[in-house]
Structure 1
Amino acid sequence: MSTATLINLVRNGGYQVRRRAVLTSRLLQDEKRPTAACYSSTSERRASRFDPDGSGRPTTWDTFGIWDNRIDEPILLPPSIKYGKPIPKVSLANVGCASHIGKRKENEDRFDYAQLTEDILYFAVYDGHGGAAAADFCDKYMEKYIKEFLAEEENLENVLNKAFLEINKAYERHAHLSADATLMNSGTTATVALLRDGIELVVASVGDSRALLCRKGKAMKLTIDHTPERKEEKERIRKCGGFVAWNSLGQPHVNGRLAMTRSIGDLDLKNSGVIAQPETKRVQLHHADDSFLVLTTDGINFMVNSQEICDFINQCHDPAEAAHVVTEQAMQFGTEDNSTVVIVPFGAWGKYKNGEINFSFSRSFASSGRWA
Structure 2
Amino acid sequence: MRRSFHVTSRGCWGLQDSYCGSLRLLLGESYVLTTLPNSVFISRFFDTPDLFPRVFRGDVPRAYSTISNYEGGIDRRVVNDNERVRGKRGFHDYFTSHLPGSSVFPDSVPPNKQISPETRATTVVRIPLRSAKHHFGVTRSRGNRPYNEDWYQAGVVDIPTFAAPSPIKPKVPPPPGDPSVFYFGVFDGHGGEDCSRFLKENLHTYIEEGAKNFGLGKQEEPDECEKIRHDTQEELVAQWRDTVGGYFRRFKPDFGPIADVEGVLMYAFLRADMDFITKVGTGEEGESASTTVDNGNKTKANPFKGGSTASIALISTATATPFWNPSTSATLITAHLGDTRIILCSTETGLAVPVTTNHHPSSPAETRRLRRYATAFVSDSFGEERFGVLANTRSFGDVSQKRLGVSAEPEITRREIHPAEFSFMALVSDGVSATLTDQEICDIVKECKTPDEASKELVEFAEEVTTEGDNATAVVVRLGGWEKRGVGGEGYMGTKDLRAWRRDEALVGSRGRRM
For the aligned pair, the TM-score class normalised by the smaller chain equals 0.7 to 0.9
Aligned to 2:355: 222
Q: Deviation at 1:286?
A: 2.5
* 2:441 aligned partner, one-letter code: I
Aligned-partner Cα distance in 1 for 2:395–2:492: 39
Query: What are the residue-to-residue correspondences of 1:63-142 with 2, within 5 Å?
Result: 92=129, 93=132, 94-117=135-158, 119-142=180-203
Q: 1:286 and 1:105, CA in 2 relative to 1: closer, same or farther beyond 3 A? A: same
Aligned to 2:306: 186
Aligned-partner Cα distance in 2 for 1:304–1:363: 15
Render the CA deviation track for 1:326-348: whole Å, top value 9, x for unaligned: 00010111141000011110111
Render the CA deviation track for 1:235-255: whole Å, top value 9, x for unaligned: 333414751110011111111
Query: What are the residue-to-residue correspondences of 1:245-324 with 2, within 5 Å?
Result: 245-255=378-388, 257-324=389-456
Asked if the contact 1:134/1:183 (under 8 Å) is kept, the reply is: no
Task: Name which of 271, 278, 296 aligns with 1:173.
Answer: 278
Secondary structure of 2:483's aligned partner? coil
Asked if the contact 2:143/2:463 (under 8 Å) is kept, the reply is: yes
Task: Name which of 338, 341, 345 aligns with 1:207.
Answer: 338
Aligned-partner Cα distance in 1 for 2:189–2:471: 10
Aligned-partner Cα distance in 1 for 2:128–2:209: 23
* 2:344 aligned partner, one-letter code: L
Q: 1:287 and 1:210, CA in 2 relative to 1: closer, same or farther beyond 3 A? A: same
Q: 2:327 matched to 1:337?
A: no
Runs (5+) with no aligned partner, structure 1: 1-12, 20-28, 40-72, 76-89, 366-372
Q: Which structure is higher in RCO with an 8 Å CA cutoff and minimum separation 6?
A: 1
* 2:443 aligned partner, one-letter code: D
Aligned to 2:364: 231
Secondary structure of 1:303's aligned partner? coil
Q: 1:176 and 1:304, CA in 2 relative to 1: closer, same or farther beyond 3 A? A: same
Secondary structure of 1:226's aligned partner? coil
Q: 2:484 matched to 1:362?
A: no
Asked if the contact 2:15/2:97 (under 8 Å) is kept, the reply is: no
Q: 1:138 and 1:16, CA in 2 relative to 1: closer, same or farther beyond 3 A? A: closer
Secondary structure of 1:115's aligned partner? strand
Q: Deviation at 1:107?
A: 0.3
Aligned-partner Cα distance in 2 for 1:161–1:232: 18
Aligned-partner Cα distance in 1 for 2:434–2:409: 23
Pick the structure with greater CA Rg: 2
Using the TM superposition, name which of 171-180 and 213-222 deviates more: 171-180
Render the CA deviation track for 1:277-336: whole Å, top value 9, x for unaligned: 000111112232311111000000111011110100010010111000000010111141
Q: 1:163 and 1:304, CA in 2 relative to 1: closer, same or farther beyond 3 A? A: same
Asked if the contact 1:241/1:273 (under 8 Å) is kept, the reply is: no
Q: Deviation at 1:182?
A: 6.4
Q: Deviation at 1:203?
A: 0.5
Using the TM superposition, name which of 260-269 and 142-151 deviates more: 142-151
Q: 1:16 and 1:168, CA in 2 relative to 1: closer, same or farther beyond 3 A? A: closer
Aligned to 1:47: none
* 1:137 aligned partner, one-letter code: F
Q: 1:271 and 1:363, CA in 2 relative to 1: closer, same or farther beyond 3 A? A: farther
* 1:172 aligned partner, one-letter code: I
Q: TM-score, normalized by length of structure 2? A: 0.53
Q: 1:191 and 1:17, CA in 2 relative to 1: closer, same or farther beyond 3 A? A: closer
Aligned-partner Cα distance in 2 for 1:326–1:215: 18
Q: 1:239 and 1:97, CA in 2 relative to 1: closer, same or farther beyond 3 A? A: same
Q: 1:328 and 1:183, CA in 2 relative to 1: closer, same or farther beyond 3 A? A: farther
Runs (5+) with no aligned partner, structure 2: 1-9, 30-48, 50-95, 99-126, 159-178, 218-259, 283-287, 292-300, 318-322, 324-329, 507-515
Q: 1:137 and 1:288, CA in 2 relative to 1: closer, same or farther beyond 3 A? A: same
Using the TM superposition, name which of 150-159 and 323-332 deviates more: 150-159
Q: TM-score, normalized by length of structure 1? A: 0.72
Q: Deviation at 1:17?
A: 9.3
Aligned-partner Cα distance in 2 for 1:347–1:36: 22
Aligned-partner Cα distance in 1 for 2:469–2:429: 12
Aligned-partner Cα distance in 1 for 2:346–2:309: 25
Aligned-partner Cα distance in 1 for 2:391–2:28: 35
Secondary structure of 1:262's aligned partner? coil
Q: Deviation at 1:202?
A: 0.5
Identity of aligned residues (%): 31
Aligned-partner Cα distance in 2 for 1:196–1:306: 24
Aligned-partner Cα distance in 2 for 1:250–1:322: 33
Count of residues in correspondence between the two structures: 297
Render the CA deviation track for 1:171-221: whole Å, top value 9, x for unaligned: 022156855966454110010111112311101000100001111221110
